[in-house]
Amino acid sequence: MTSADHDGRSSSDGAKIGSISDFAFGAERRNQIKLHHLRYFVTAAEYGSFRQAGRALGIQESTISRRIRDLEDQLGASLFHRHASGVRLTVAGRKYLPRARTALQHIHAGAHDVAAIGQTEQGHIKIGVFSSIASGFLFDLLRAYGKRFHRVRVDLIDGNPAEHIAAVRQLQLDVAFLTGTSPRDGCEVEQLWSEKVFAVLPADHPLADRAELTWPDLAGERFIISDAPPGQEIYDYLVGRLGKLGHHPEIHCHYVGRDNMLSLVAVGRGLTLTSEATTVAQFPGIAYRRMAGEILPFSAIWSARNDNPACRRLLSLARSIARSAGR
């Protein structure tokens, strides 16, 4: 049996209204049903009037009527009988109402859960690091973040800049802290702090008597680097700076970690460079001497597609620390 509305639609008393996934995600529908369509429908059903529903929602009656017509067109069935005193549900409308209410409840509950994740201390973040975290900005940031969001799991990953940037683009890393401020394709870049550059030399080296060194002081020295990060970056830095003096430095690569690299410096195998944050680590037999006028900028690099709330909190805290430190 079918009944006709005054607007010319007809609805079948046996009309079948499917599940939430049927009406929300059905591939056969030209347009997906909008959230506000469902809200207007449920409110109109509760008030039995488009006018009163509009007043309750703070919108015009004509908007309610038009959007419900759109919803009926997408469903292929009339949901209301229209009459002078208001509206009443058709059989199809009565079947559809509990499903629409359930859909709205799920959507609102989901939004509440997501907001809760963004506001609480729970979560997981993967951070690519290139500088030492022994002291300085990264140390301060990670300590403050751990105290404020102690339930967030933080994974630190060492690596070279190219690997970190590729991982950020693929969302395998949430954020990386790297030297430089150059734009990176597919990434957001924001400078947060800077560090001084130090030469690392044996404690009994003649240059250890000086408080500050210049590149001409190092022109005749032998250098050592690690094959691990930031070895390649130190190599490029040395070649770039000493090359401007017309000198190609003697640089030897060793397959050791940072601690053993400093031990090699102590036993006289060569000099190396490091950033300010590393100098807090004291090793017997070595001396740190600042390179005059040398400053390394450090930036946070992340993907604009990253929607991890833990990452947003970290970046917000990093900006706050940078501002307070005047970096």
Q: What is the pLDDT of residues 73-85, one digit of tens each?
A: 989 999 999 998 8
List, in order of start, the domains of the chain with CATH numbers: 2-118 (1.10.10.10), 123-325 (3.40.190.290)
Q: What is the pLDDT of residues 120-164, one digit of tens each?
A: 556 899 999 876 676 789 999 999 999 999 889 999 998 888 899
Residues facing 190 on adjacent strands = 300
Show the tokens assigned to 323: 């501002």
What integer pLDDT is reported at residue 48 of this predicted model? 93
pLDDT of 106 > 80? The answer is: yes
